[in-house]
């Protein structure tokens, strides 16, 4: 081959290539003796007093031996294939624990005889730290540091399984869920400002947490909503007692910003049926606690109610459900458009379509007030199709109003149930063709947890959607079980960083580094980064310096009507 023909100068070049490789690389003979190590290898290993290589064979080196490398090299001798990356955690008295990723691969001649073994190490510590931090953030509320909804649900699932085992052993196994919502918090927040509101939330969180028993879980779900998981109870009376005590504890005024604030709360209590477990049941319990909490509100607030089945159907929720069924045909749904801004130029390069419901009596409702209902009842399928069709039609109209070839993309959200819907791909294809929309003008946003829920099938569905010519975005990154590893394995084009990550940057260098590293990794994977929820010039500057591509947020525009969106696009 060409390499041999050009003889030793090529060999020298190859050697230099390895020597200058940024990855720590060693070439070993079949017995594990060093033939060549590069500078990065020396740099990786020669920290502290552990000079390396200090011996003629990897097997004689204490640290590599401690890592248990030998069996992998042995495997190399036997098998032709490259080993999958192996993760090692190494801690020496002198160095901080570090994570290393090793690739070990055999080099054979044409008869299959092992000539050499390649050993490449990559220091994985920073990426690992980033993933751990993302995992922590994913499970905790940044304001109060309490567990968030995801962690709470996880603990609830574990608690139900534990209760089942306790019941089988004849032990006290009562498990109760308390759902609490502060009364009139919105008014407090609006009149005294968010900063004071936040202080109050932190105060409430601290006071309630300080009174809990070890093993109880107290979480914040966002806003002024909290939940509590109590285990090992004798009966429902005990759970109601805890609710009464919380009300009592909160009755002493809070000192916030020089004001004495008095807080009351409405609490819903539900007790699990012994022996019931599973994710569905956990969700059902949350829903029941929520219903009981609403009942407390309607009974005049500052009280608790224990869930009973009678409540289940008596609720106004039912009314809302019927209304929603008719909303589409009555033309009450609207799509609002939030501009997406190219950070480098300040121009609008796209929109996110966000649904609103113009309810005849309740006014304009945000998705948080009806999407989960639509999701539970299956109405989301029809609603989602309507939104997609509407957004597609609109992007075509926008296109006609702006110069040819100007960048413009319409992002549309897909919910969990839509993603699971077997005819999704066909439906999307039909909507694209019926509305005459260019697929490259459309982005579908799907959250990571929804993608992961679907397991290995997800990749197939995502591929099929991409096959239609659409662009895919992973939405709300930083809130779920975010992991760089899953991101790498799924065929998405855009990473959307959640507002909670942006919010966390303020005055916190560590969070700032986290956002910056996440953007760096996304770029390294070839993804565009869209940041959500930019509200201040400070956030904008920070994100711009981190190389973020596109952003949306109240700093520029709130989601707006078609008319306003058209106005700002053509102006």
Q: Which residues bind ligand C2E (CB under 6 A)?
A: 338, 354-355, 366-368, 371, 384, 387, 413-415, 445, 475-476, 499, 532-535, 552-554, 559
Residue 553 binds which of Mg ion, ligand C2E, none (CB < 5-8 A, kind-dependent): ligand C2E
Binding mask 464-503 for Mg ion (x = CB under 5 A): -----------xx---------------------------
Instruction: Give the Cα separation of 433 and 485 in Å (integer).
Output: 35
Cβ burial, residue 454 (10 Å; 0-12/13-18/19+): middle
How far apart, in whole angstroms, are the C-alpha atoms of residue 178 and residue 212?
13
Question: Closest separation between CB of residue 355 and ligand C2E, Å?
Answer: 4
Whose Cβ is closer to ligand C2E: residue 54's or residue 541's?
541
Min dist CB 288 to ligand C2E, Å, is 23
Binders of Mg ion among residues 153 to 172 (CB under 5 A) are none
Residue with tokens 């740099």: 43
- Match 């070993």 to its residue by tokens: 28
Using CA atoms, how far apart are residues 129 and 51, in angstroms rounded to an integer? 26
Binding partner of 268, given Mg ion, ligand C2E, none, CB within 5-8 angstroms per partner class: none
Choice between 122 and 375, CB closer to ligand C2E: 375
355 binds, among Mg ion, ligand C2E, none (CB under 5 to 8 A by kind): ligand C2E
Looking at the Cβ atoms of 414 and 470, the one nearer to ligand C2E is 414
Nearer to ligand C2E, 138 or 160 (CB): 138
Rounded alpha-carbon distances, angstroms, from residue 42 to 47, 94, 263: 9, 17, 62
CB 89: neighbour CB atoms within 10 A? 12
Q: Among ligand C2E, Mg ion, none, what binds residue 274 when CB lies within 5 to 8 Å by partner kind? A: none
- For Mg ion, which is the closer residue by CB, 410 or 458? 410
Token pair in block for residue 484 = 């760089």
HEC states along 317-360? HHHHHHHHHHHCCCCCEEEEEEEEEECCCCCEEEEEEEEEEEEC
Query: Among residue numbers 35 through 64, which ones bind Mg ion (CB under 5 A)?
Result: none
How far the first Cα of the chain sits from its last, in Å, is 62
Cβ 552 to ligand C2E, closest distance in Å?
A: 6
> Could you give the angle at which helices 194-210 and 185-192 cross, rounded to 10 degrees?
140
Min separation Cβ 450 and ligand C2E, Å: 10
Q: Any contact of residue 445 with Mg ion (CB under 5 A)? A: yes
Residue 274 vs 367, nearer CB to ligand C2E? 367
Q: What's the rounded Cα separation, in Å, for the pair 192 and 323?
A: 35
Number of residues interacting with Mg ion: please give it, by CB under 5 A: 5
CB of 528 to Mg ion, least distance (A): 15
- CA angle 116–118–120, rounded 5-degree value: 165
Select from 363, 372, 367, 365 the least CA-distant residue to 352: 367
Q: Give yes or no for residue 231 binding Mg ion (CB under 5 A).
A: no
Whichever of 250 and 335 has its CB closer to ligand C2E, that residue is 335
Q: Which of Mg ion, ligand C2E, none has residue 499 at its interface (CB below 5 to 8 Å by kind)?
A: ligand C2E
- Give the Cα separation of 461 and 427 in Å (integer): 13
Nearest distance from C-beta of residue 236 to ligand C2E, angstroms = 35
Instruction: Return d(Cα 101, Cα 13) in angstroms, integer.
Output: 26
To Mg ion, the closest distance from the beta carbon of 496 in angstroms equals: 5
Establish whether the linkage from the previous residue to 53 is cis, with ω within 30° of 0: yes
Nearer to Mg ion, 101 or 449 (CB): 449
Nearer to Mg ion, 25 or 552 (CB): 552
Residues of this chain, 410-439, that bind Mg ion according to CB under 5 A: 413
Q: Is 21 helix (H, G, I), strand (E, B) or coil?
A: coil
What CA–CA distance (Å, rounded) separates 25 from 38?
Answer: 6
What is the CB-side half-sphere exposure of residue 435 using CA atoms within 13 A?
Answer: 24
Closest approach of ligand C2E to the CB of residue 460, in Å:
21
Q: CA-to-CA distance for 222 and 341, rounded, in angstroms?
A: 27
Both tokens assigned to 318 = 């039912």
Q: What is the nearest approach in angstroms of ligand C2E to the Cβ of residue 366?
A: 4
Q: Which is nearer to Mg ion, 532 or 539 (CB)?
A: 532
Min dist. Cβ of residue 444 to Mg ion (A): 10
Q: Which residues are at the interface with Mg ion (CB under 5 A)?
A: 413, 445, 475-476, 532
């Amino acid at each position: 081959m060409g390499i041999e023909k050009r003889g030793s100068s090529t060999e020298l070049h190859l050697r230099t290539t390895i020597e200058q490789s940024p990855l720590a690389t060693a070439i070993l003979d079949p017995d594990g003796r060093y033939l060549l190590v590069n500078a990065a290898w020396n740099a990786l290993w020669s920290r502290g007093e552990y000079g390396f290589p200090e011996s003629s064979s990897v097997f004689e080196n204490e640290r590599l031996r401690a890592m248990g490398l030998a069996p992998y090299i042995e495997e190399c001798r036997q098998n032709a294939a490259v080993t999958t990356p192996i993760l090692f955690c190494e801690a020496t008295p002198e160095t901080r624990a570090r994570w290393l990723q090793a690739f070990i691969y055999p080099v054979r001649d044409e008869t299959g005889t092992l000539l050499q073994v390649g050993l490449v190490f990559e220091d994985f510590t920073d990426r690992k730290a980033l993933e751990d931090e993302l995992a922590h953030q994913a499970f905790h509320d940044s304001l109060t540091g309490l567990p968030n909804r995801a962690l709470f649900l996880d603990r609830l699932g574990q608690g139900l399984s534990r209760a089942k085992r306790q019941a089988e052993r004849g032990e006290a196994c009562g498990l109760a869920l308390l759902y609490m919502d502060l009364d009139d918090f919105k008014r407090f927040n609006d009149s005294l400002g968010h900063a004071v509101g936040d202080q109050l939330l932190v105060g409430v969180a601290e006071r309630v947490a300080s009174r809990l028993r070890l093993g109880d879980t107290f979480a914040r779900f966002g806003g002024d909503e909290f939940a509590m998981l109590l285990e090992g109870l004798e009966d429902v009376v005990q759970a109601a007692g805890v609710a009464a005590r919380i009300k009592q504890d909160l009755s002493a005024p809070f000192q916030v910003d020089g004001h004495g604030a008095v807080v009351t709360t409405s609490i819903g209590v539900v007790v699990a049926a012994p022996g019931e477990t599973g994710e569905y049941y956990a969700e059902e319990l949350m829903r029941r606690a929520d219903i009981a909490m609403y009942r407390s509100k309607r009974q005049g607030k500052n009280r608790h109610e224990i869930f009973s089945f009678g409540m289940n159907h008596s609720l106004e929720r039912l009314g809302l459900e019927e209304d929603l069924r008719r909303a589409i045909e009555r033309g009450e749904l609207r799509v609002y458009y939030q501009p997406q801004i190219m950070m480098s130029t300040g121009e609008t390069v796209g929109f996110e379509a966000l649904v609103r419901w113009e309810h005849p009596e309740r006014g304009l409702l945000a998705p948080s007030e009806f999407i989960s209902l639509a999701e539970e009842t299956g109405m989301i399928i029809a609603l989602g199709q309507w939104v997609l069709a509407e957004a597609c039609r609109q992007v075509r109209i926008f296109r006609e109003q702006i110069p040819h070839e100007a960048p413009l993309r319409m992002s549309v959200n897909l919910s969990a149930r839509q993603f699971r819907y077997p005819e999704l791909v066909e439906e999307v294809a039909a909507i694209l063709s019926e509305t005459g929309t260019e697929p490259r003008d459309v982005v579908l946003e799907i959250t990571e947890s929804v993608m992961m829920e679907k397991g290995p099938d997800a990749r197939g569905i995502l591929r099929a959607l991409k096959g239609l010519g659409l662009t895919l975005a992973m939405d709300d990154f930083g809130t779920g079980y975010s992991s760089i590893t899953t991101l790498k394995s799924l065929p998405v084009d855009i990473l959307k960083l959640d507002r909670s990550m942006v919010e966390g940057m303020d005055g916190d260098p560590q969070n700032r580094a986290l956002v910056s590293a996440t953007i760096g990794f996304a770029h390294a994977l070839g993804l565009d980064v869209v940041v959500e929820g930019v509200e201040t010039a400070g956030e904008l500057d920070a994100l711009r310096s981190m190389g973020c591509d596109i952003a949306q947020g109240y700093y520029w525009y709130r989601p707006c009507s078609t008319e306003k969106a058209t106005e700002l696009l053509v102006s």
